Amino acid sequence: MKKLKVIQKGWHLGQDGPGHRLVYHLQGCNLVCPWCANPEAVAVNGALMIRRDRLLSEVCPHGAIHDQALDRSVCSSCEARECVTRYPNEGIRLSCTEHAVSELMDEVRAARHLFHSGGGVTLSGGEPTLQFAALGALLEALKAEGVDTAIETNGTHPDLPRLFPLIDTLMLDLKHYDDAKARATVGHGNTTVLANLARAAAEHGRVWLRITLIPGFNSSPADLAQFVSLVSTLPQQHLSVELLAYHEYGRVKWEQCGMNYNMNVAAMPTPNVVEYERQFRAAGINVINT
Ligand code: SF4
């Protein structure tokens, strides 16, 4: 029985795909973007998230909790994780839970009457393709019952095109147009990403290319000219671009996961995003805002 590690689920209207959608965020990511809004999603087997004001030493039989602080060096060799498996509490939790595809399908069927305005199910992350086999099984089950599907992916999985027939809306996040700069900052180059993007633009019926504008990384006027130039070379018929402004909503969760949030840049002013959108449109590229 195929199982998926799920971080959270929620409802979005007009975001993460068309219409009113049930969005599942899946555990695990192969990138380490310093601005990540869901840092708890990165560790493949889940992250321990703490609330210091509720942290109790009694829930750890290995002495990893002292003075409302967690010694994660002890946790790294702990397989039982009694603090979450045996003594569930408000001070510490694992970022994900496991669910069989059949269990998720039961949930989808029960919620289906809410998929209005062209809605359906979106699988986001983390990076959903890290759980490729189970992801494929869920997408197959959704399509077999006529549910509209969307995924949000970083495009790094070499077999992503195999999933195209099962995906109604493919949202692909492009971090950078330059392979070396992508590799240096997010830990993964973009050769496969660009190959998947080219195939998607040529073969898929609805592709939303998302670019999050990160000051100091990919959002200078020169960067924008490169992005526009790259996207201009792709088939445009089923392709749309969405520009997203950097935000630091994930900062608190970085701290809860025991990681340092090292982004110290001001959010890009909205007028610049609007001007950049204008440049894409001037090049004949469809721009959307969701
Ligand atoms: S993961 Fe293990 S060592 Fe860490 S707090 Fe939980 S029980 Fe203790």
Is the CB of 72 inside a 6 Å radius of any atom of ligand 1?
A: no
Domain boundary among 30, 62, 94: 94
Structural domains of the chain, count: 2
Does the structure show a pLDDT above 70 at 271? no
Q: DSSP for 58-79, please give it.
A: GG-TTS-EETTEE-HHHHTT-S
- Same domain assignment for residues 78 and 139: no
With respect to residue 287, please indicate whether it lies within any of the assigned structural domains: no
pLDDT band at 269 (very low <50, low <70, confident <90, very high): low
Q: Output helix, strand, coil percentages for the chain, rounded to the nearest 5.
A: 35, 20, 40
- Same domain assignment for residues 162 and 247: yes
Is the CB of 108 inside a 6 Å radius of any atom of ligand 1?
A: no
Residues 115-131 have pLDDT tens digits of 999 999 999 999 999 99
Top mutation candidate among 48, 65, 68, 82 for ligand 1, by most atoms within 8 Å of CB: 82
With respect to residue 289, please indicate whether it lies within any of the assigned structural domains: no
Tell me the residue type at 150: A
With respect to residue 288, please indicate whether it lies within any of the assigned structural domains: no
- Same domain assignment for residues 162 and 273: yes
Residues 50-101 have pLDDT tens digits of 999 999 999 999 999 999 999 999 999 999 999 999 999 999 999 999 999 9
Cα(249)–Cα(40) distance, integer angstroms = 13
With respect to residue 290, please indicate whether it lies within any of the assigned structural domains: no
- Same domain assignment for residues 71 and 121: no
* Helix boundaries (H) for the chain: 72-75, 82-85, 101-111, 132-144, 160-163, 179-186, 191-203, 221-232, 251-256, 270-282
Top mutation candidate among 51, 52, 74, 76 for ligand 1, by most atoms within 8 Å of CB: 74
- Same domain assignment for residues 120 and 64: no
Q: How many angstroms separate the most distant Cα atoms in the chain?
A: 62
For position 82, what pLDDT does the model report?
96
Cα(214)–Cα(23) distance, integer angstroms = 25
- Same domain assignment for residues 126 and 255: yes
- Same domain assignment for residues 169 and 152: yes
- Same domain assignment for residues 74 and 201: no
- Same domain assignment for residues 184 and 72: no
Is the CB of 287 inside a 6 Å radius of any atom of ligand 1?
A: no
Kind plus residue range of the DSSP H or E element containing 14 = none
Q: What is the domain range of residue 246?
A: 3-44+95-282
Q: Whose CA is nearest to atom 3 of ligand 1?
A: 75
With respect to residue 155, please indicate whether it lies within any of the assigned structural domains: yes
- Same domain assignment for residues 85 and 196: no
Residues 131-175 have pLDDT tens digits of 999 999 999 999 999 999 999 999 999 999 999 999 999 999 999
User: For residue 75, how far is its CA from the centre of ligand 1 (angstroms)?
Assistant: 5
- Same domain assignment for residues 174 and 83: no
pLDDT band at 277 (very low <50, low <70, confident <90, very high): very high
Residues 194-231 have pLDDT tens digits of 999 999 999 999 999 999 999 889 999 999 999 999 99
